[in-house]
Amino acid sequence: MAWLSLKIAAQDNTADLISDTLMEQGALSAIIEDANADTLDEQPIFGEPGDPPPGIWQQNLVSALFDEGVDVQKVMADLSRLTKLPSLHYTTEVIQEQDWVRATQSQFDPIKITDDLWIVPTWHSAPNANAINIVLDPGLAFGTGSHPTTHLCLAWLSQTVKKDRSVLDYGCGSGILAIAAKKLGASKVVGTDIDAQAIQASLYNAEQNAVQASFYHANDYQTEEYDIVVANILSSALSVLAPALAKSCRSGGKIALSGILKEQAEAVSAIYAPWFDMQAPVYMDAWVLLTGNKK
């Protein structure tokens, strides 16, 4: 069995209309993608939980899946008529039947953070059995180690965590940073998140890695002081949470902040400066890690 993939170029003000209309025409699925994904022109878009959707990219590809025998010319003619959008540019590709589980797994290889710290999907063997290996499968919660912000935080933790240190992972997502901190020797590790699904993912991943860490929904989290605070969340949230994160870090403790784009680094650093002696930013691709010592 095979399917036909239809990709149509769309602007930000037409992508939703095209996607919805294709579904009405019998598409098995339709998604909107950044037309510039994986290029220097890739456009990051963000939104905060509880806020209105942040919108979509300016240049898009609407990707729809149809049965292989679909009449593409008729689909496109009907699409133009129903949407009143002439001269739509499109491409097609036949997608053959395959083992989708294996195909998905093949996209995720072990990720080297340092020589002694790796993220290893469950279907792979650890490249370095003597390293600290975090077993983590791609899931619904953010944080598999592949994103630069997670990578930056993990590398920083590998240099910072000591055996007698306590660690708070604020916005724990998959729990990857908390799990890494515990495997690196932290004495006490706590994670918190506003997403109940993230808490479930973190608890599951901690169990898979045989580490003891506590995870709480933000509504249930009780503020304590920690030696190390790490927060890999959006810069807008980091800006608002500065007093709370500062309160959670003991005097002389350390903080690491990520989820910050290069152009946002100076403003975020200035917000935290009243509580922390901020260090020089560390960059990876378009992203920044900010660190500081509590005054």
84 occurs within a structural domain: yes
* Lowest mean pLDDT, pick from 31-40, 68-77, 213-222, 227-236: 31-40
Decide: helix, strand or coil at residue 81.
helix
More confident residue, 13 or 50: 13
Distance CA 104, CA 138 (A): 10
Same domain, yes or no: 78 and 153? no
- For residues 152-169, give the mean pLDDT: 95
272 CB burial (10 A radius; 0-12, 13-18, 19+): buried
Q: Is the pLDDT of residue 107 over 80?
A: no
Same domain for 164 and 54? Answer: no
pLDDT at 109: 77
Per-residue confidence band for 135, with pLDDT thresholds at 50, 70 and 90: confident
Domain count, the chain: 2
User: Of 82, 97, 112, which residue sits at a domain end?
Assistant: 97
Residue 91 sits in a domain of what CATH number?
Answer: 3.30.70.120
- The strand ranges marked E within 79-149 are 90-96, 111-114, 117-120, 132-135
Residues 89 and 147 in one domain: no
Asked whether residue 108 carries a pLDDT value surpassing 80, the answer given is: no
CB 217 within 8 A of CB 198: no
The dihedrals phi and psi of 94, each to the nearest 5 degrees, come to -90, 125
Return the pLDDT at 58.
83
126: confidence class by pLDDT, cuts 50, 70, 90 = confident
User: Is 133 part of any domain?
Assistant: no
| pLDDT at site 237 | 92
Can you tell me whether residue 220 is helix, strand or coil?
coil
Last residue of a domain, one of 71, 97, 123: 97
Assess if residue 109 is contained within a domain.
no
The model's pTM: 0.68
Residue 31 lies in a domain: yes
- What pLDDT does residue 136 have? 82
Binning pLDDT at 50, 70 and 90, where does residue 42 land? low
Cβ count near 17 (within 10 Å): 16
Please tell me whether residues 178 and 287 are part of one structural domain.
yes
Check whether residue 151 and residue 281 sit in a common domain: yes
Is it the case that residue 92 has pLDDT exceeding 70?
yes
- The per-residue pLDDT for 2 is 85
Dist. CA 110–CA 127, nearest whole Å: 8
Q: Does any domain span residue 126?
A: no
The amino acid at residue 260 is I
Q: 288 with 153, same domain?
A: yes
Is the pLDDT assigned to residue 141 strictly greater than 50? no
What local confidence, expressed as pLDDT, does residue 51 receive?
A: 44
* 40 and 152 fall within a common domain: no
Over residues 277-287, mean pLDDT:
94
70 plus 149 within the same structural domain:
no
Residue 154 shares a structural domain with residue 66: no
Give the least confident one: 18-32, 54-68, 136-150, 253-267. Answer: 136-150
Q: Is residue 188 part of a domain?
A: yes
**Predicted confidence band of residue 99 (pLDDT cuts 50, 70, 90):** low
Kindly state whether residue 282 falls inside one of the protein's structural domains.
yes
Residue numbers of the domain that contains 77: 2-97
Return the pLDDT at 12.
87
% the chain with pLDDT above 70: 87
pLDDT in tens, 52-90: 445 567 888 999 999 989 999 999 999 999 999 998 999
Say if 213 falls within a structural domain.
yes
SS3 19: helix
